[in-house]
Amino acid sequence: MRVEQVEITPIAVPDVPLLNTKGVHQQVFLRSIIEVTTDTGITGLAETYGAARTLDALKQTAPHLAGLDVWNLNDLRRRIESALPDAGGINAPTMLADHQKVDVAYSAWEMALLDIQGKAIGRPVSDLLGGAVRGQIGFGAYLFFKFAKPADQVGEDIMGEVMTPDAMVEQARMLVDAHGFRSLKLKGGVLEPDAEVETLLKLRETFPDHPLRIDPMGAWTVPTALRVIDRLHGVLEYLEDPVRGMDAMAELARQTDMPLASNLVTVEFEDVIEVARNGAVQIILSDPHYWRGPTGCRHLGEMCRAAGMGVAMHSNSHLGISMAAMCHVAAATPNLRFDVDTHYPWSRHDVVKGGRAAFADGKLDVPAGPGVGVDLDRDSLTELASLYDTIMMQDRDDTEEMKKYIPDYVRQVPRW
C-alpha cells in the first residue's frame, strides 16, 4: 500500500478562558485534521495542532508523502527530514517550550499511517505498538482557574468564573461527579503560591483518596518551590515543572525528595539522557503529538524504564481522534502508571462519529476497532472548518488574550 492522497483540514473549536502562567485561552483552540488515503482506498486519520507553524510544516511535507509505502516509517522520517531541513520549532515565542517541526509533522503523519496499517490487517493501533497491557485508561480531572466567558465570544461557557480555592473545590466536585475522575491535576502558576497551596489543601480535605498534582509551568523560583513543597509534604503525587529550565529543575531536585515531572525541560530524546544524568526530573510526560508519534512514545517509555524514571502523559486541547490515539499509546506503554491528563471535558465538540467519548469511573475503554478505532463525522468537520475560516485566528497567544481582561498584564516567568 502506498500513499496516494493527503488532505489537511484546519479547524477552530470553541474554548473557554482557562488560565495559566502565560495568560488565558482564546475563544477557540485550533486543530488540524489529517486524512491520508492509499492506492487501495484505505484512509487513515490523525489529529494534531492547528496553529500556523504546524500547518506550514504539514503543508510543506504533504507532497513528499506521495508513493510512500505505509509500512515504511523509516522512509517517512527520511522524507520529513528532507522536506524540513533546519526547520526549527513550531511554537510561538510566548510558549514556554518548543517542539521541533520535524517531530510534530512526523508524529501526525505516523498516526495516520498506523491507522491505515491497523485497518489493513484488522487490528487496533495498540497491537502495532506491541500489544495492550490494559483495556481501560484512567484519566485525571484537569482543574483550571478561569474567567467567565465573555458573551461576545463564540461558544458556551463551562462552569463560569473560578478564581478562589473554594470555587476550585466546586469545579473539582463537578468534574468528579460528571466523569468519575479518581485523580486531580491543578494548572497552577495563576494565583499567588500561598493561594494555590490553600487550594490543594482544600482539595485534599474534600477528596482524601484522590492523588493530587500541580503544574505551575515554571512560575516559581527555586526558593518558592521549596517553600511550597514544605507545606505540601505528603499531599502531592508529583510536582510538575515548578521552576523554569533544566538548571533550575536540577537545582530544586538536589534539595527535595518530591518527585518532579516535566513536559517543558524534556521534549527530545536527548533531554531524557540529560535528566537521567543530572536527576532534574523523575517523571517524563509523554505525548504522541510531539514525541515522534505513537512509536516514539513507546521508545520514550523504554528509555524511562531503563533509567528508572516514571512516565505520565501530557494533554493539550484536543478532540476524539487524539483521544483515541492517546488511549492506544497509554494501553501499550507498560510503565505508564499515572492517570492521563486530558482537556477533553473543557469542550462540547468533536469530529468523530457517535459523538464525544463518555468517561466511566474516570476511564475510557481502549478503542477495539481496527486502526485508531474512530471514524470522521463529516458534518462536524465541516462546521468547525467553517468556524476556522470565519474566526480569522491562526495562532495561539495566551498572553495577548490576557490583555483583553487585564490591559496592563505583563507576562513574567517565573513570577514568584
Indicate which residues carry an active-site annotation.
187, 314
Question: What does the angle CA 333 – CA 375 – CA 119 come to, to the nearest 5 degrees?
Answer: 60
Calculate Rg over the CA atoms of the chain: 20
166: cell is: 473554594
Of 155, 141, 162, residue with least CA distance to 29:
155
Separation CA 102–CA 5 (nearest Å):
20
Residue 121: C-alpha distances to residues 67, 116, 118 (Å)? 20, 9, 5
Give me the helix-helix angle, 293-307 and 320-331, nearest 10°. 40
361 exposure class (CB count in 10 Å sphere: 0-12, 13-18, 19+) = exposed
Q: Could you tell me if 347 and 319 are in contact, meaning their C-beta atoms sit under 8 angstroms apart?
A: yes
Of 175, 193, 191, residue with least CA distance to 183:
175
